[in-house]
Protein backbone atom coordinates (compact mmCIF):
# COMPACT_ATOMS: atom_id res chain seq x y z
CA UNK A 1 0.00 0.00 0.00
CA UNK A 2 1.15 3.52 -0.79
CA UNK A 3 0.31 6.19 1.75
CA UNK A 4 0.95 9.84 0.89
CA UNK A 5 0.93 12.51 3.58
CA UNK A 6 -0.25 15.73 1.99
CA UNK A 7 -1.57 19.18 2.74
CA UNK A 8 -4.32 21.00 0.88
CA UNK A 9 -2.85 23.54 -1.55
CA UNK A 10 0.68 22.08 -1.40
CA UNK A 11 2.17 22.30 -4.93
CA UNK A 12 4.80 19.64 -4.19
CA UNK A 13 2.03 17.28 -3.12
CA UNK A 14 0.10 18.01 -6.29
CA UNK A 15 3.15 17.24 -8.39
CA UNK A 16 3.34 13.78 -6.79
CA UNK A 17 -0.42 13.23 -7.02
CA UNK A 18 -0.37 14.18 -10.73
CA UNK A 19 2.43 11.71 -11.46
CA UNK A 20 0.56 9.09 -9.46
CA UNK A 21 -2.49 9.68 -11.62
CA UNK A 22 -0.41 9.35 -14.80
CA UNK A 23 0.97 6.04 -13.52
CA UNK A 24 -2.42 4.77 -12.38
CA UNK A 25 -1.41 4.73 -8.73
CA UNK A 26 -3.99 5.02 -5.98
CA UNK A 27 -2.64 6.58 -2.79
CA UNK A 28 -4.13 6.33 0.64
CA UNK A 29 -3.94 10.05 1.33
CA UNK A 30 -3.48 11.53 4.79
CA UNK A 31 -3.84 15.29 5.22
CA UNK A 32 -1.77 17.01 7.90
CA UNK A 33 -4.53 19.57 8.39
CA UNK A 34 -5.60 17.01 10.97
CA UNK A 35 -3.27 17.57 13.96
CA UNK A 36 -3.25 13.86 14.77
CA UNK A 37 -2.04 13.10 11.24
CA UNK A 38 0.63 15.82 11.49
CA UNK A 39 1.85 14.30 14.76
CA UNK A 40 1.87 10.85 13.14
CA UNK A 41 3.98 12.21 10.26
CA UNK A 42 6.51 13.80 12.61
CA UNK A 43 6.73 10.57 14.61
CA UNK A 44 7.39 8.60 11.42
CA UNK A 45 9.72 10.86 9.48
CA UNK A 46 11.06 13.28 12.05
CA UNK A 47 9.73 16.54 10.62
CA UNK A 48 6.56 18.24 9.50
CA UNK A 49 7.01 18.33 5.73
CA UNK A 50 4.81 17.06 2.94
CA UNK A 51 4.67 15.22 0.66
CA UNK A 52 5.86 12.12 2.52
CA UNK A 53 5.51 8.69 0.97
CA UNK A 54 5.16 5.40 2.82
CA UNK A 55 5.42 2.23 0.73
CA UNK A 56 4.51 -0.50 3.19
CA UNK A 57 5.15 -3.31 0.70
CA UNK A 58 8.79 -2.33 0.25
CA UNK A 59 9.34 -0.82 3.68
CA UNK A 60 10.35 2.50 2.12
CA UNK A 61 9.53 5.97 3.45
CA UNK A 62 10.70 9.32 2.09
CA UNK A 63 10.29 13.07 1.93
CA UNK A 64 11.05 15.25 -1.11
CA UNK A 65 8.69 15.35 -4.07
CA UNK A 66 11.43 14.86 -6.69
CA UNK A 67 12.70 11.74 -4.89
CA UNK A 68 9.14 10.43 -4.54
CA UNK A 69 8.44 10.97 -8.25
CA UNK A 70 11.67 9.20 -9.20
CA UNK A 71 10.84 6.34 -6.83
CA UNK A 72 7.32 5.94 -8.20
CA UNK A 73 8.54 5.95 -11.80
CA UNK A 74 11.21 3.40 -10.93
CA UNK A 75 9.12 1.03 -8.85
CA UNK A 76 5.45 1.58 -9.64
CA UNK A 77 5.34 2.48 -13.34
Ligand X SMILES: N[C@@H](CCC(=O)N[C@@H](CS)C(=O)NCC(=O)O)C(=O)O
Per CB under 6 A, residues contacting ligand X are 7, 10-12, 48-51, 64-66
**Min dist. Cβ of residue 66 to ligand X (A):** 6
2 Cβ contact list (under 8 Å, min separation 6):
20, 25, 26, 27, 28, 53, 54, 55, 56, 76
Which one, 7 or 30, has the nearer CB to ligand X?
A: 7
**Min dist. Cβ of residue 28 to ligand X (A):** 18
Cα separation, 38 vs 48, in Å, equals 7
**Min dist. Cβ of residue 75 to ligand X (A):** 18
Which one, 63 or 76, has the nearer CB to ligand X?
A: 63
Amino acid sequence: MLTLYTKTGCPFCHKVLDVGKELGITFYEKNIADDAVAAELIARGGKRQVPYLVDTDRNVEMYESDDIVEYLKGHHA
